[in-house]
């Protein structure tokens, strides 16, 4: 990936609302966009709340998808999904062959995350995923508006180009904005939040 095409196929994933610390699964929606413009496809999967299956579930749906050959990059809303189900973005990159960009609207508080993860028997494994995700970078989207991101499998300048071209409608990349709207509608009947 050298030149970033405006129509680059991005798949973005976000989870829907769920009851924290409950048993069961959280719905996850993936949306395939061409750049920030054209919605090409949708996925609906589930991950265990506070489980550790998210990386495998994402690898499976992506590798099976009819869009796989067109896809160029995976976007995540942070590296956790369905509570403390932590995505190993190195493994996600290696097993799909697709670069990964994880976006946060706020600077994650790693100290608080570490404390929460210490409640899990497999703390070591989860914390390793957090550390392997690498440095959290800051990027200015607008005046006084920053987002924070981590990435694997591409250059930082490429990651920033992709973020910029996909923020067509708001301060969040379009695949993540739309995945969030759909996932919240699945649970609540009508979408909520950052439209």
* The only residue of 8, 86, 172, 181 in contact with its own copies, by rule CB under 8 A: 181
* The only residue of 6, 19, 42, 155 in contact with its own copies, by rule CB under 8 A: 42
Name the token pair of 155. Answer: 């250059």
Nearer to its own copies, 89 or 182 (CB): 182
Shortest separation between residue 41's beta carbon and its own copies, angstroms? 5
Residue 41 in contact with its own copies, rule: CB under 8 A: yes
Residue 63 is given by DSSP the state: H
Nearer to its own copies, 158 or 174 (CB): 174
**How many positions of this chain bind its own copies (CB under 8 A)?**
24
Q: What is the DSSP string of 125-184?
A: HHHHHHHHT-PPEEEEEETTEEEEEEEESS-HHHHHHHHHHH-SSSSS-HHHHHHHHHHH
Angle at 76 between CA 20 and CA 130, to 5 degrees: 70
Residues that bind its own copies (CB under 8 A): 29, 38-45, 61, 64-66, 169, 178, 181-182, 184-186, 189-191, 195
């Amino acid at each position: 990936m050298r030149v970033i095409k405006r129509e680059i196929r991005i798949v973005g994933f976000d989870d829907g609302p769920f009851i924290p610390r409950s048993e069961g699964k959280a719905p996850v929606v993936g949306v395939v966009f061409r750049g920030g413009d054209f919605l090409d496809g949708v996925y609906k999967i589930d991950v265990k709340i506070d489980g550790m299956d998210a990386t495998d579930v994402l690898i499976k749906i992506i590798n099976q998808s009819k869009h796989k050959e067109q896809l160029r990059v995976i976007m995540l809303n942070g590296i956790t999904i369905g509570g403390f189900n932590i995505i190993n973005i190195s493994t996600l990159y290696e097993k799909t062959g697709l670069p990964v960009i994880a976006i946060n609207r706020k600077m994650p508080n790693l100290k608080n995350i570490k404390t929460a993860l210490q409640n899990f028997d497999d703390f070591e494994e989860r914390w390793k995923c957090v550390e392997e995700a690498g440095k959290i970078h800051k990027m200015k989207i607008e005046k006084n508006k920053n987002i924070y991101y981590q990435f694997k499998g591409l250059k930082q300048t490429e990651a920033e180009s992709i973020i910029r071209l996909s923020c067509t409608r708001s301060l969040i990349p379009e695949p993540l904005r739309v995945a969030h709207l759909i996932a919240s509608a699945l649970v609540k009947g009508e979408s909520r939040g950052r439209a």
